[in-house]
């Protein structure tokens, strides 16, 4: 049984920097930081770097959202086809995690992450030059495959360093940092469109990718000790994943979190058309509303991490969040289907705000509860969590546009089906009443 990640970070001798966190390279007493200093530096470095890595996917998705109608016009493609550029990126992130997760368990966190970041930068630069929708979809797929490294390895590093309640708190802290991205990304995207076309958004993302690659190269060192790495090949990785999927409770949290993410991504992929095309709002207004919803998610996530965790069980917080999501999705379906007449943008925006905010209870707690069951193979477990979320989200994405651009009903239907399914998996597979936490 490996030692706790926090204990390892604080007590491993700094000779050769075996903590992997840049906490010292000397061998004498003067070079060894105190436990307090080590904890402070560890927390700062890990939080900032992992926050940047987890912010990259929403940046890649959300900066691009205000430009979807513009891409439709520029490339002369239907909205459903352009939405496949989102699906391709999401699907790439799902499949990439299956590969990168086991790689990080075998070769450590740093090398696969740096390789993925370099390929991400190249793929994003190619998106700037894409002459057709088909090539843009292909480049977005490659962008997603490479960007998966940051997602899966960030979660694995958290598992390397933290456990139990501390891990849940750290996930909530990451939500605060990475949550800034969906707040500012649509606003940035809308402002970029004032001065250039949709290609300029990918140019900005290329620069962001370069800067983040340099930050990872300089500050994020290895967190997985050589003795804790897996030495098996593909067969061993597959057996590990099969064993994780054989854990009913782990699988329950995984699917519940994935379906909740799909409800969120139904909003992400449909909202540009719902807000701008159906309700006539500008790209800047859409960016503002998207930012307000993201602030709601961040705020609730911080309430979860700073107030609820340690006072009530993670399962109770998770169940409350899923229940609110179900109620919000039901209200959205009633409003968009005309049961209450023509309600306008404000009530629909309020329903979306409640749904997004409740994700702050659902998402960090599903990840924490699932990863707490994996003392070993954090990379493989993280890969399964991410792959499941992104694959289900990729399936949900095109469904929201199945009835065209004139109705928001498909978005609400997808959200309701996914949220009810998430609650059913939580209750039927996790069975929280059978456990103390």
Express each pLDDT in 83-125 by its tens digit. 788 888 877 887 888 888 888 887 888 889 999 999 999 999 9
CA atoms of 142 and 157, how far apart (whole Å): 24
What's the pLDDT score for residue 4? 38
Name the pLDDT band for 354 (thresholds 50, 70, 90): very high
Model pLDDT for residues 235-277, shown as the tens digit of each residue: 677 777 888 888 899 999 999 999 998 998 888 778 878 888 8
What's the pLDDT score for residue 175? 67
Which residues does 72 contact at the CB level (< 8 Å), separation at least 6? 78, 79, 82
Name the pLDDT band for 178 (thresholds 50, 70, 90): low
Rounded average pLDDT over 179-195: 76
Which residues does 163 contact at the CB level (< 8 Å), separation at least 6? 4, 5, 6, 372
Rounded average pLDDT over 150-163: 82
Rounded average pLDDT over 356-370: 89
What's the pLDDT score for residue 183? 64
**Quick check: 437 pLDDT over 50?**
no
Name the pLDDT band for 233 (thresholds 50, 70, 90): low
> Would you give the distance in Å from CA 417 to the centre of its chain?
21
Identify the residue with better confidence: 125 or 167: 125
Name the pLDDT band for 207 (thresholds 50, 70, 90): very high
The pair of three-digit structure tokens given for residue 390, joined into one six-digit string: 């992104």
CA atoms of 171 and 199, how far apart (whole Å): 33
Closest CA to 77 of 405, 299, 410: 405
Closest CA to 55 of 220, 173, 181: 181
Name the pLDDT band for 32 (thresholds 50, 70, 90): very low
pTM of the predicted protein model: 0.69
Name the pLDDT band for 135 (thresholds 50, 70, 90): very high
Q: Of 126-135, 142-151, 230-239, give the lowest mean pLDDT range.
A: 230-239
**Quick check: 30 pLDDT over 60?**
no
Do the Cβ atoms of 422 and 325 come closer than 8 Å?
Answer: yes
Region of 198 please: left (phi>0), alpha (psi -120 to 50) or beta: alpha
Closest CA to 12 of 161, 155, 112, 218: 161
Do the Cβ atoms of 173 and 305 come closer than 8 Å?
Answer: yes
The pair of three-digit structure tokens given for residue 223, joined into one six-digit string: 């967190």
Q: What are the CA-CA distances from residue 255 to residues 119, 393, 395 (Å)?
A: 29, 11, 14
Do the Cβ atoms of 303 and 173 come closer than 8 Å?
Answer: no
Q: Which of 55-59, 198-202, 303-307, 338-342 has the highest mean pLDDT?
A: 198-202
What's the pLDDT score for residue 28? 39
Q: What are the CA-CA distances from residue 196 to residues 21, 191, 199, 272, 275 (Å)?
A: 40, 9, 8, 19, 22
Beta bridge partners of 190: none
Rounded average pLDDT over 172-178: 71
- Of all residues in the chain, the percent with pLDDT exceeding 90 is 25
Identify the residue with better confidence: 230 or 325: 325
Do the Cβ atoms of 299 and 183 come closer than 8 Å?
Answer: no
What's the pLDDT score for residue 234? 59
Model pLDDT for residues 51-79, shown as the tens digit of each residue: 888 888 778 877 887 888 888 888 888 87
Q: What are the CA-CA distances from residue 111 to residues 42, 194, 318 (Å)?
A: 20, 39, 34
Q: Of 12-16, 170-174, 344-348, give the lowest mean pLDDT range.
A: 12-16
Rounded average pLDDT over 195-211: 91
Q: What are the CA-CA distances from residue 45 to residues 52, 84, 207, 215 (Å)?
A: 11, 36, 22, 10
């Amino acid at each position: 049984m490996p030692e706790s990640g926090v204990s390892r970070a604080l007590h491993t001798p700094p000779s050769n920097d075996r903590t992997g966190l840049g906490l010292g390279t000397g061998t004498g007493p003067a070079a060894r930081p105190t436990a307090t200093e080590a904890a402070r530096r560890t927390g700062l470095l890990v939080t900032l770097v992992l926050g940047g890595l987890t912010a990259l996917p929403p940046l890649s998705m959300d900066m691009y959202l205000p430009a979807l109608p513009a891409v439709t016009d520029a490339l002369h493609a239907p909205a459903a086809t352009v939405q496949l550029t989102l699906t391709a990126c999401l699907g790439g992130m799902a499949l990439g995690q299956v590969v990168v997760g086991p790689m990080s368990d075998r070769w450590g966190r740093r090398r696969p992450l740096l390789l993925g970041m370099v390929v991400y930068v190249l793929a994003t630069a190619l998106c700037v030059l894409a002459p057709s929708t088909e090539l843009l979809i292909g480049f977005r797929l490659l962008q997603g495959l490479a960007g998966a490294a940051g997602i899966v390895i960030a979660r694995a590093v958290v598992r390397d360093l933290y456990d139990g309640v501390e891990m849940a708190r750290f996930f909530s802290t990451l939500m605060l940092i990475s949550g800034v991205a969906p707040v500012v990304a649509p606003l940035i995207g809308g402002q970029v469109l004032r001065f250039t076309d949709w290609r300029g958004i990918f140019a900005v993302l290329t620069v962001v990718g370069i800067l983040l690659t340099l930050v990872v190269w300089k500050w994020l060192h290895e967190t997985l000790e050589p003795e804790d790495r897996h030495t098996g090949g593909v067969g061993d990785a597959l057996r590990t994943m099969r064993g994780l999927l054989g854990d009913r409770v782990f699988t329950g949290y995984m699917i519940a979190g994935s379906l909740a993410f799909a409800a969120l991504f139904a909003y992400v992929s449909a909202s540009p058309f719902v807000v701008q095309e159906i309700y006539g709002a500008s790209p800047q207004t859409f960016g503002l509303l998207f930012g307000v919803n993201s602030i709601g998610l961040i705020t609730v996530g911080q309430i979860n991490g700073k107030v609820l965790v340690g006072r009530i069980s993670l399962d109770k917080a998770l169940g409350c969040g899923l229940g609110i999501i179900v109620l919000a999705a039901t209200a959205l379906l009633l409003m968009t289907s005309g049961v209450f007449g023509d309600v306008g943008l404000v009530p629909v925006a309020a329903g979306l705000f409640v749904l997004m905010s409740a994700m702050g209870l659902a998402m960090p707690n599903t990840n924490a509860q699932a990863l707490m069951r994996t003392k070993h193979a954090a990379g493989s477990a993280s890969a399964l969590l991410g792959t499941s979320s992104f694959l289900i989200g990729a399936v949900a994405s095109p469904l929201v546009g199945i009835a065209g651009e004139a109705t928001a009903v498909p978005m609400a239907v997808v959200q309701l089906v996914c949220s009810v399914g998430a609650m059913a998996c939580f209750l039927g597979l996790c069975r929280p009443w059978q456990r103390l936490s």
